[in-house]
Amino acid sequence: MRHRQAIALLALVGFFVALYLWLHALGVGGPLKCGTGDCDTVQASRWAMFLGVPVALYGVVGYAAILAVALAGLRPAAIPRRGPTLILAALATGGLLFTAYLTYLELFVIHAICRWCVASAAIIAIIWIVAAAAAFADLRRPPPP
Protein backbone atom coordinates (compact mmCIF):
# COMPACT_ATOMS: atom_id res chain seq x y z
CA MET A 1 0.00 0.00 0.00
CA ARG A 2 2.84 2.35 0.89
CA HIS A 3 4.35 2.13 -2.57
CA ARG A 4 1.04 3.13 -4.20
CA GLN A 5 0.76 6.10 -1.84
CA ALA A 6 4.31 7.18 -2.68
CA ILE A 7 3.63 6.80 -6.40
CA ALA A 8 0.40 8.82 -6.11
CA LEU A 9 2.20 11.70 -4.38
CA LEU A 10 5.06 11.67 -6.91
CA ALA A 11 2.64 11.47 -9.84
CA LEU A 12 0.75 14.48 -8.49
CA VAL A 13 3.96 16.55 -8.44
CA GLY A 14 4.91 15.29 -11.91
CA PHE A 15 1.43 16.15 -13.18
CA PHE A 16 1.84 19.79 -12.13
CA VAL A 17 5.33 20.03 -13.63
CA ALA A 18 4.01 18.71 -16.95
CA LEU A 19 0.92 20.92 -16.69
CA TYR A 20 3.11 24.02 -16.27
CA LEU A 21 5.13 23.10 -19.38
CA TRP A 22 2.00 22.30 -21.37
CA LEU A 23 0.29 25.58 -20.43
CA HIS A 24 3.47 27.39 -21.49
CA ALA A 25 3.36 25.56 -24.82
CA LEU A 26 -0.24 26.78 -25.23
CA GLY A 27 0.87 30.36 -24.65
CA VAL A 28 -0.46 30.74 -21.11
CA GLY A 29 1.78 32.82 -18.84
CA GLY A 30 5.05 34.47 -19.75
CA PRO A 31 8.56 33.10 -20.05
CA LEU A 32 9.33 29.87 -18.24
CA LYS A 33 10.90 30.32 -14.84
CA CYS A 34 14.01 28.35 -15.58
CA GLY A 35 16.79 29.65 -13.33
CA THR A 36 20.14 28.64 -14.76
CA GLY A 37 18.73 26.21 -17.31
CA ASP A 38 17.96 26.81 -20.96
CA CYS A 39 14.26 26.02 -21.08
CA ASP A 40 13.57 28.39 -23.98
CA THR A 41 15.97 26.57 -26.29
CA VAL A 42 14.42 23.21 -25.42
CA GLN A 43 10.83 24.44 -25.63
CA ALA A 44 11.44 26.26 -28.90
CA SER A 45 13.16 23.28 -30.54
CA ARG A 46 11.36 21.09 -33.04
CA TRP A 47 11.57 18.21 -30.55
CA ALA A 48 9.18 20.03 -28.21
CA MET A 49 6.42 18.47 -30.34
CA PHE A 50 5.92 14.72 -30.75
CA LEU A 51 3.46 13.48 -33.39
CA GLY A 52 2.06 17.00 -33.65
CA VAL A 53 1.35 17.28 -29.92
CA PRO A 54 3.41 19.22 -27.33
CA VAL A 55 5.64 16.75 -25.48
CA ALA A 56 4.40 18.14 -22.16
CA LEU A 57 0.87 16.93 -22.93
CA TYR A 58 2.16 13.34 -22.94
CA GLY A 59 3.49 14.07 -19.47
CA VAL A 60 0.16 15.49 -18.29
CA VAL A 61 -1.74 12.45 -19.58
CA GLY A 62 0.88 9.98 -18.36
CA TYR A 63 1.11 11.35 -14.83
CA ALA A 64 -2.69 11.62 -14.64
CA ALA A 65 -2.96 7.94 -15.63
CA ILE A 66 -0.37 6.89 -13.03
CA LEU A 67 -2.13 8.97 -10.37
CA ALA A 68 -5.52 7.47 -11.26
CA VAL A 69 -4.22 3.88 -11.16
CA ALA A 70 -2.38 4.49 -7.87
CA LEU A 71 -5.51 5.97 -6.26
CA ALA A 72 -7.67 3.17 -7.64
CA GLY A 73 -5.19 0.69 -6.19
CA LEU A 74 -5.55 2.30 -2.76
CA ARG A 75 -9.22 1.43 -2.47
CA PRO A 76 -9.61 -1.21 0.31
CA ALA A 77 -10.89 -3.83 -2.14
CA ALA A 78 -7.95 -3.28 -4.53
CA ILE A 79 -5.12 -3.23 -1.99
CA PRO A 80 -4.42 -7.00 -1.99
CA ARG A 81 -4.63 -7.21 -5.82
CA ARG A 82 -1.55 -7.40 -8.02
CA GLY A 83 -3.15 -5.73 -11.03
CA PRO A 84 -2.66 -2.06 -10.03
CA THR A 85 0.99 -2.69 -9.13
CA LEU A 86 1.70 -4.31 -12.48
CA ILE A 87 -0.14 -1.56 -14.39
CA LEU A 88 1.82 1.08 -12.47
CA ALA A 89 5.08 -0.69 -13.33
CA ALA A 90 4.08 -0.83 -17.01
CA LEU A 91 3.06 2.84 -17.12
CA ALA A 92 6.22 3.90 -15.29
CA THR A 93 8.37 1.88 -17.71
CA GLY A 94 6.73 3.58 -20.69
CA GLY A 95 7.22 6.98 -19.06
CA LEU A 96 10.83 6.23 -18.20
CA LEU A 97 11.67 5.14 -21.75
CA PHE A 98 10.04 8.24 -23.24
CA THR A 99 11.87 10.44 -20.72
CA ALA A 100 15.17 8.72 -21.55
CA TYR A 101 14.60 9.54 -25.22
CA LEU A 102 13.84 13.20 -24.38
CA THR A 103 16.87 13.47 -22.10
CA TYR A 104 19.05 12.04 -24.88
CA LEU A 105 17.70 14.76 -27.23
CA GLU A 106 18.44 17.46 -24.66
CA LEU A 107 21.99 16.31 -24.01
CA PHE A 108 23.17 15.24 -27.44
CA VAL A 109 20.94 16.89 -30.05
CA ILE A 110 19.59 20.17 -28.65
CA HIS A 111 22.59 20.68 -26.35
CA ALA A 112 20.45 22.47 -23.77
CA ILE A 113 18.92 21.45 -20.47
CA CYS A 114 15.50 22.44 -19.19
CA ARG A 115 15.32 22.36 -15.42
CA TRP A 116 11.64 21.41 -15.47
CA CYS A 117 12.38 18.47 -17.78
CA VAL A 118 15.10 17.31 -15.39
CA ALA A 119 12.61 17.52 -12.51
CA SER A 120 10.12 15.43 -14.45
CA ALA A 121 12.83 12.92 -15.38
CA ALA A 122 13.80 12.54 -11.72
CA ILE A 123 10.16 12.05 -10.70
CA ILE A 124 9.43 9.37 -13.29
CA ALA A 125 12.72 7.63 -12.45
CA ILE A 126 11.77 7.43 -8.76
CA ILE A 127 8.25 6.29 -9.66
CA TRP A 128 9.75 3.57 -11.85
CA ILE A 129 12.10 2.38 -9.08
CA VAL A 130 9.24 2.21 -6.56
CA ALA A 131 6.82 0.57 -9.03
CA ALA A 132 9.39 -1.94 -10.32
CA ALA A 133 10.43 -2.93 -6.80
CA ALA A 134 6.78 -3.39 -5.78
CA ALA A 135 5.99 -5.41 -8.90
CA PHE A 136 9.06 -7.61 -8.37
CA ALA A 137 8.08 -8.24 -4.75
CA ASP A 138 4.46 -8.93 -5.76
CA LEU A 139 5.48 -11.43 -8.41
CA ARG A 140 7.63 -13.33 -5.93
CA ARG A 141 4.74 -13.68 -3.52
CA PRO A 142 2.11 -16.36 -4.06
CA PRO A 143 -1.02 -14.89 -5.66
CA PRO A 144 -3.79 -13.85 -3.27
CA PRO A 145 -6.61 -16.41 -2.90
Partner 1 sequence: MNRFHVVLGALAVALTITLFLLLREGNGASAAAAGPPPAVVDDGFRGHTLGSPNAPVEITEYSDFECPFCARFATIQMPTIKEQLIATGKVRWRYRDFPIPGHQYGRYAAHAAHCAGEQGKFWEMHDQLFYNHSWAQTGKDPARLFRDFAKAAGVDLERYDACMQSGRYASRIEFSRQEGLNVMVDGTPTFYVNGRKFTRPQANSDVFKAIADSIIARRK
* Residues of this chain that bind partner 1 (CB under 8 A): 5, 8-9, 12-13, 16, 19-20, 23, 27-33, 40, 44, 74
Distance of closest approach, residue 33 Cβ to partner 1, in angstroms: 6
Distance of closest approach, residue 143 Cβ to partner 1, in angstroms: 26
Torsion of Cα atoms, 124 then 74 then 58 then 18, to 10°: -60
Pairwise CA distance, residues 96 & 93, whole Å: 5
**Which residue, 70 or 87, is less far from partner 1 as judged by CB?**
70
Pairwise CA distance, residues 43 & 25, whole Å: 8
Q: How many beta carbons lie within 10 A of that of residue 86, not counting itself?
A: 16
**Which residue, 74 or 126, is less far from partner 1 as judged by CB?**
74
Distance of closest approach, residue 32 Cβ to partner 1, in angstroms: 7
